[in-house]
Amino acid sequence: MALVLVDDRETKSPVIAELKRLGVAYEVRRLDVADYDIGGVYGVERKTPSDFINSIIDRRLFDQATYLREAFEVPIIVVEGGFAAVLRYRRINHHAVLGALAALAETKISVIQTTGPRETAELIYVLARRLERKKRLYVPPTKKRVIKMNTSIPVVQLNLLSSIPGISFEMADKLLRHFKTPRRFFTAKPSELKEVPGIGDKRVKKILAVLDTIYAPLHGGSEDE
């Protein structure tokens, strides 16, 4: 059965216990893309219906989908549960959700709805078995991004920007594509920051708070310590 790589931010997910029950071989590590990497071919991003809707509202969904599509031959977004109950108290039209699902299908991203973590684990199990039958175990995908080298300058640049509150990994990539260098980003005026899609007043305030607030030492020691 193909090895499943699990992002270390998923360790508290009920999916892990189900994978153990099913006898799936897995390793936990920090993944740059996806929550589950199945044999380097299938990339699975797991979301609740609320997470999915939030990612539509804050425009993360299609950034994440782009990275997923670039990194894996078969990109999959799993939504655990139905949208109906969540949409009752969310300020978003059901048509917006359907439109997002249609747009993902147009970009060759599969969206699979499961009943919960147990069925998500079963899906991962089936995908791992499919790779075994196709004898494609550990074969790297043709679209795999060369971003796993954590010492490479682009990754350091992405990590630098994404360490700022309000800036996700995907947004950091968008900012670097726009400003070309981290230095140019750090010296940008608020009006220039707002030129980047997804950067509004709220995000600008968070960025400026980090960049312009005078440092307050976390302990009372002197500078010579």
The answer to whether the CB of 42 falls within 8 A of the CB of 131 is: yes
Average pLDDT along the chain: 84
The secondary structure element, H or E, covering residue 133 is helix 117-133
CATH for the stretch 4-133: 3.40.50.10130
Q: Rounded CA gap, 225 and 221, in Å?
A: 7
Taking only the tens place, the pLDDT of each residue in 107-137 is 889 999 999 999 999 999 999 999 888 754 4
pLDDT, position 135? 54
Q: Rounded CA gap, 131 and 44, in Å?
A: 14
Give me the percent of the chain exceeding a pLDDT of 70. 88
Domain 153-212, CATH 1.10.150.20 — does that match?
Answer: yes
The band of 92, judged by pLDDT with boundaries at 50, 70 and 90, is confident
Mean pLDDT of 27-46: 93
pLDDT, position 50? 92
Handedness of CA 41, 76, 144, 32 (dihedral sign): negative
Is pTM, for the whole model, over 0.75?
Answer: no
pLDDT, position 111? 96
pLDDT, position 218? 56
The secondary structure element, H or E, covering residue 129 is helix 117-133
**What are the structure tokens assigned to 150, written together?**
């954590």
Taking only the tens place, the pLDDT of each residue in 143-193 is 444 344 445 687 788 878 888 877 877 788 889 999 999 999 999 998 999
Mean pLDDT of 24-49: 93
Give me the percent of the chain exceeding a pLDDT of 90. 42
pLDDT, position 150? 46
Q: Where are the domains of the chain?
A: 4-133, 153-212
pLDDT, position 160? 84
Taking only the tens place, the pLDDT of each residue in 188-215 is 998 999 898 888 888 888 888 888 888 8
